[in-house]
Structure 1
């Protein structure tokens, strides 16, 4: 067997005012540099017009929607930020055939915002790039069903077509 364990009061470097205040697990608290770094990495700030989708070991864990300071563990947690503010961009000129077969060069300005941050973060790798890639395709589809001469006269028809 070996010698009996030394009483805690006889260990050098420990001053005990009372035995009730001493906890043996206090020796391990913040003993390595990693113990100091992990808590610092766990704090983050959520700005306005952003949402944060949390994945815990690859599974959806929740969405933080309110701005403020947060503390979440970094072990096994992946955070994906999604901008939910209004975003506007201009597309390059797109060559399109209208309903009459006329060749037109059209440009567009797209304004959008992300409504469902969970779908944007999980289902699409880069949601803003996805919208930029899909905008010319939608423009071609809409213009191919409408004659260019009718667009100025039948703006309500175009709006109804886009809503459906």
Structure 2
């Protein structure tokens, strides 16, 4: 059998009755000295081994001399064959908050990336028998999936400007790919992936300083472009209104001087310091 089989064994109170009966016969044998008391007392101890208590969102996998018998998933008090090996497997949802690991992104930059995974056991047969340790399997495969995902996308679009999805800005698209990869990897262990998210991402320490300066330079250039664009518009508007309202009659040289002065004032990092000229400019 290579699939989970859910069973509902004998109620535990039936086992309690058998244990009490065996104990009673054993005690009677000791008193009357004609019943094999040792046998019934040993039988009572043997029957006690068969008791199983299954809590809510827990399960118990039963194996009889190497043969899979079934899985108890319904919570309650039961009695099973005492010769069965019993393995408890929790069906509760669990969190795996992985430590950030160093990987290389699509363009080869070393980055630190970590994930948080919410998972639970869905198929107890595969969790118990298809892998050696399903909890350790989740940890190892989560790191492997994270490394593979990081290799498919760049950290940002500095070096891959045509890339639409990046690890830093991909958001739900990247997380969706991570979930798909994890579901494929953990299916062999009967694990259900409820949610997977990247919870930490940064450049590795050896290049973090250089990349930070690069990001700052990019931000400064973008800000300068906006400032120049706005300054050009204001200068154009000023010249147009001066001409339309006939406030000043400027030749090309005067216009060039005025444009130069306005651009310096509007694009400067510091506030303008006006100079009052009491005489003529010419």
Bucket of the pairwise TM-score, normalised by the shorter protein: 0.7 to 0.9
Larger radius of gyration: 2
**RMSD of aligned C-alpha atoms?**
2.2
State yes or no: 1:154 paired with 2:170. Answer: yes
1:136 aligns with 2:152: no
- Taking the aligned partners of 1:87 and 1:159, their CA distance within structure 2 comes to 18
Aligned to 2:264: none
Higher-strand-fraction structure: 1
1:34-76 Cα offsets, whole Å, 9 max, x none, are: 212111111120011111111111111111110000000112x
The separation in 2 between residues aligned to 1:88 and 1:44, in whole angstroms, is 27
Please say if residues 103 and 112 of structure 2, whose CA atoms lie closer than 8 Å, have aligned partners that are also in contact.
yes
Does the C-alpha gap of structure 1 residues 30 and 42 become closer, same or farther in structure 2, counting only changes over 3 Å?
farther
What SS does structure 1 have at the residue aligned with 2:53? strand
TM-score by length of 2: 0.46
Which residue does the alignment assign to 1:73?
81
Structure 1 moving runs of 4+ over 6 Å:
none
Corresponding position of 1:113 = 120
Match of 1:35 in 2: 43
**1:84 touches 1:114 (CA, 8 Å); kept in 2?**
yes
Cα offsets for 1:113-157 (capped at 9, x unmatched): 111011101112221111112211111011110111113433343
1:15-26 superposed matches below 5 A: none
The TM-score, its normalising length taken from structure 1, stands at: 0.76
The answer to which structure, 1 or 2, has the higher relative contact order (CA under 8 A, 6+ apart) is 1
Structure 2, unaligned runs of 5 or more: 1-31, 157-165, 182-282
Contact 1:53 1:63 in 2 (8 A): yes
Aligned with 1:54: secondary structure? Answer: strand
CA distance in 2, matches of 1:146, 1:34: 66
Partner residue of 1:9?
A: none
Give the paired residue count. Answer: 140
Say which SS state the counterpart of residue 51 (structure 1) adopts.
Answer: strand
User: 1: CA distance between counterparts of 2:40 and 2:137?
Assistant: 44
| Equivalent pair of 2:150/2:167 in contact (CA under 8 Å) | no
Corresponding residue for residue 58 of structure 1: 66
Note if contact 1:53-1:80 (Cα within 8 Å) is conserved in structure 2: yes
**Higher helix proportion (structure 1 or 2):** 2
